[in-house]
Structure 1
């Protein structure tokens, strides 16, 4: 929420870039914060087990970095689940059946397209273009066409509230503040 809204002496940092860890130390602090927040800042006697969604196209080094960050944030065990699988489970798709289910998972930094059947990925394709690039395209379009400057959060809000991958019968509008 702070991106694009901080004073000159405050820096808002994104520890992830293109679906992988870009700043190890900040990612660790952020994950530690999320763990504390999820437990209402109580002192944990038992270290939590953590499940983390990862893009399908990351390297073994990138996978290791994700696990290392979670372990340094005091996880007892870390399970990595490919994002199309976790998205399919979240969408309640019948992934254990012998039929193919296609899922397109567009994140902030990566897009994963996969066919899932019998609890596994049968085919997948991964690209490092996703929501962040869409947000930047919205910013550039409004700047060029309307001479209007908006920030990343406003662009993301426009995308989420009135964006459509399919042509609409009636154009939608959104007030920008």
Structure 2
């Protein structure tokens, strides 16, 4: 009985901690999205909260060189969160709760979030930010495609300073599908 209460018998899910750079597509796939792109320096090794274990997250970015070129994006980013079993539920259950909570929070704040691909349940949204620096106004748009496979929630996003249209949103969804395929191939 104590084992059930401690979550010992809950499934961790299909994946161990996922390194986001392992599921980021290759340079040839990313070339039409980011001008003269390169992986940003930094460690993408999955880490738990304060390095203490438990659920883990990892991030990998591919950005234009030189910086600041939108063709059509400045940066594409893959952020992976791996949920593990706990007394609150299995890894897949916790990952699904995390995705639903993200969706509900976005909708509550007035964001338009759509299921952009019925077969996979990919949620799509565009974040908009505007910054005024002295006499200039800078607009930033982040297009997100977020999905879950087993115990991993993945956020694929692309940043641009140019108002995105349906073509750019479709490109991010296409990239998310590519990332999903690469994630499924991990084992």
TM-score w.r.t. the length of structure 1 is 0.25
Higher strand proportion (structure 1 or 2): 2
Higher helix proportion (structure 1 or 2): 1
Task: Tell me which structure has the larger Cα radius of gyration.
Answer: 1
TM-score w.r.t. the length of structure 2 is 0.24
